[in-house]
């Protein structure tokens, strides 16, 4: 049998081998939240669902070059549609359900998607966004019939490794999100890497069970968790999101042998009182990033399994992943291991010179061998300049500041890019500022990250206002207005009113100075704390 070259082919291959074994597991608590059936969906049952969708899409003329938006949270139907469309050479555009009207308009127009499958309660909003974007695509729910694609039919294709599989949007530093074009190779390699990497990430060829609370519209769950289980014939439990109070009950109920985490999760779990049940689970390891240095060792001691820190980004996929999967892991030092022989790195200063040992610099990565892009994203859609800038000099410039110790291990230091990372979401300060500056009471706004014990970073907004006597009421009004304009996590959690901002000679916001300015204002108690207003909209 020839090796799979697409995600759909990998799924068929595993189904033939695993058949009646569980592929996706829906816990009762997730089923209740989503209003769907609980229980395990076997590989065979999932293949039946995928084939029904594939036939329906084929009959309506879906083919290579089409894109279909998916706003479906972590429901099994997301996976059904993705695999079915992949079989025809169609790419999917996963949509973050927290996005609001103007953000949806941008993604629909920029991706040139041809249809969208969405949650029933978001259908009207997505239809409005499509209309306002000048691209009135069909917007349907999973219960509806498959519509004809906007723009007409195209020939279906089985596709191959180079075929576009998904378009994932990631926050950049220059405003609007960038669309990362991801091929079948990107996803297949991600599964292969996880299956083969070894060390403490020791996936068994059968019987593996993973649980993740991370969203399918991010590469972690879509390309890493899902493809890992698909590649070893394991079973994946996807929660709707992370629920600290019921987390361990979910872990036990799923019979998970491994789990995925982000830094915010261990912090929340460690804040709960110790319990006799803390080690009542089957987890052998957790895989993730960003655990608090001071909590890393205490967490492992309390819960009885290692948290394996790793580094990657949407642009690198697993082509450039680096993981602390072997001892010594240097727990409590923000160490994420050292690159495998297949991954080449440089750490450079602002002048592009290699930084000495222990001196922080920007991490540059590429694949060793004849194809330095193998397993990485193909390009930023419709943005040749940004793609060329990212790959300047033949290296992917990550924007992350790291240091290398005398042993060759890497330690995460900070982000060079002006990106705020809140609970695993990347937030472009420029994008938030452009929205805030539209508010009638704001003359100019500047946004920066401020440390948050639970979320990692929180959004701090420093505002010059047109109104006299700016107070907490105005700050609240601005935040409530922001929540209507953009995803809740992007809205300011802290607001301070000032007379001036740190600017460059060309009147641009001085990013380094702004960070220091925010720290000073925070120390002086000048900020209004409005974090309690930031709640996920249902």
One-character DSSP codes across 386-452: HHHHHTGGGSEEEEEEEEE-TTS-EEEEEESSSEEEETTEEEEHHHHHHHHTTSTTEEEEEEEEEEE
**What pLDDT is stored for residue 65 in this prediction?**
97
pTM of this structure: 0.85
**What pLDDT is stored for residue 307 in this prediction?**
98
Q: What is the pLDDT along the chain (538 residues), one digit of tens a residue?
A: 568 999 999 999 999 999 999 999 999 999 999 999 999 999 999 999 999 999 999 999 999 999 999 999 999 999 999 999 999 999 999 999 989 898 899 999 999 999 999 999 999 999 999 999 999 999 999 999 999 999 999 999 999 999 999 999 986 555 688 999 999 999 999 999 999 999 999 999 989 999 999 999 999 999 999 999 999 999 999 999 999 899 999 999 999 999 999 877 887 898 889 999 999 999 999 999 988 888 899 999 999 999 999 999 999 999 999 999 999 999 999 999 999 999 999 999 989 999 999 988 999 999 999 999 999 999 999 999 999 999 999 999 999 989 999 999 999 887 776 678 898 887 878 778 878 888 989 888 899 999 998 888 999 999 999 787 789 999 999 999 999 989 999 999 999 999 988 875 545 677 778 988 999 999 999 999 999 999 877 6
CATH class of 7-401: alpha beta
Task: Give burial (CB, 10 Å; 0-12/13-18/19+) of 402.
Answer: buried
Structure tokens, 261: 């985490």
**Number of H-type helices and E-type strands within the chain:** 16, 25
d(CA 190, CA 176): 27
**What pLDDT is stored for residue 155 in this prediction?**
97
**What pLDDT is stored for residue 159 in this prediction?**
96
Phi, psi angle pair for 513, to nearest 5°: -65, -35
Residue ranges, CATH 3.40.50.12780, the chain: 7-401
**What pLDDT is stored for residue 424 in this prediction?**
82
Residue ranges, CATH 3.30.300.30, the chain: 419-533
CA angle 519, 525, 526 (to 5 degrees): 85
d(CA 222, CA 214): 9
What's the CATH code, domain 419-533? 3.30.300.30
**What pLDDT is stored for residue 1 in this prediction?**
52
**What pLDDT is stored for residue 466 in this prediction?**
76
**What pLDDT is stored for residue 386 in this prediction?**
94
| Cβ pair 318, 189 in contact under 8 A | yes
d(CA 362, CA 341): 20
């Amino acid at each position: 049998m020839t090796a799979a070259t697409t995600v759909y082919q990998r799924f068929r291959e595993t189904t033939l081998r695993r058949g009646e074994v569980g592929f996706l597991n829906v816990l009762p608590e997730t089923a209740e939240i989503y209003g769907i059936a609980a229980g395990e969906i076997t590989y065979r049952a999932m293949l039946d669902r995928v084939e029904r969708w594939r036939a329906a899409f084929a009959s309506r003329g879906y083919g290579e070059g089409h894109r279909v938006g998916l706003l479906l949270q972590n429901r099994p139907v997301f996976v059904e549609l993705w695999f079915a469309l992949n079989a025809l050479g169609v790419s999917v555009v996963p949509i973050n359900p927290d996005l609001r009207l103007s953000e949806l308009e941008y993604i629909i127009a920029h991706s040139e998607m041809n249809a969208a499958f969405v949650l029933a309660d978001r259908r009207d909003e997505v239809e409005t966004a499509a209309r306002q974007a000048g691209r009135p695509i069909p917007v349907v729910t999973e219960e509806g019939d498959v519509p004809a694609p906007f723009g007409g039919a195209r020939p279906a294709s089985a596709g191959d490794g180079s075929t576009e599989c998904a378009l994932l949007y990631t926050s950049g530093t220059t405003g609007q999100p960038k669309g990362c074009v991801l091929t079948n190779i990107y996803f297949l390699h991600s599964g292969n890497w996880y299956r083969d990497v070894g060390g403490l990430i020791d996936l068994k060829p059968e019987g593996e069970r993973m649980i993740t609370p991370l969203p399918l519209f991010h590469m972690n769950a879509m390309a890493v968790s899902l493809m890992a289980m698909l590649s070893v014939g394991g079973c994946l439990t996807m929660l709707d999101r992370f629920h600290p109070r019921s987390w361990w009950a979910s872990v036990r109920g799923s019979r998970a042998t491994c789990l995925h985490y982000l830094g915010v999760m261990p912090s929340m779990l460690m804040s709960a009182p110790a319990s006799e049940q803390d080690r009542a689970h089957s987890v052998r390891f957790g895989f993730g990033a960003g655990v608090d240095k001071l909590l890393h060792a205490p967490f492992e001691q309390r819960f009885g399994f290692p948290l394996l820190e790793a580094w990657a980004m949407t642009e690198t996929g697993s082509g450039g992943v680096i993981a602390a999967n072997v001892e010594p892991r240097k727990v409590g030092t923000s160490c994420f291991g050292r690159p495998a022989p297949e991954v080449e790195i440089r750490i450079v200063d602002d002048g592009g010179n290699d930084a000495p040992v222990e001196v922080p610099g920007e991490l540059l990565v590429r694949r060793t061998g004849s194809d330095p892009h193998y397993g990485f994203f193909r390009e930023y859609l419709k943005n040749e300049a940004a793609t060329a800038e990212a790959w300047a000099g033949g290296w992917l410039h990550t924007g992350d500041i790291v240091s290398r110790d005398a042993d060759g291990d890497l330690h995460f230091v900070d982000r060079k890019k002006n990106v705020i990372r809140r609970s695993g979401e990347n937030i472009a300060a420029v994008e938030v500022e452009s929205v805030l500056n539209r508010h009638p009471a704001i003359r100019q706004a500047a946004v920066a990250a401020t440390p948050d014990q639970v979320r990692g970073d929180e959004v701090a907004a420093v505002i010059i206002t047109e109104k006299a006597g700016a107070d907490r009421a105005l700050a609240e009004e601005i935040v409530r207005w922001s929540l209507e304009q953009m995803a809740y996590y992007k809205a300011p959690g802290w607001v301070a009113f000032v007379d001036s901002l740190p600017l460059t000679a060309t009147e641009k916001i001085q990013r380094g100075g702004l960070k220091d300015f925010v720290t000073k204002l925070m120390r002086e108690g000048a900020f209004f704390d409005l974090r309690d207003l930031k709640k996920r909209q249902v």
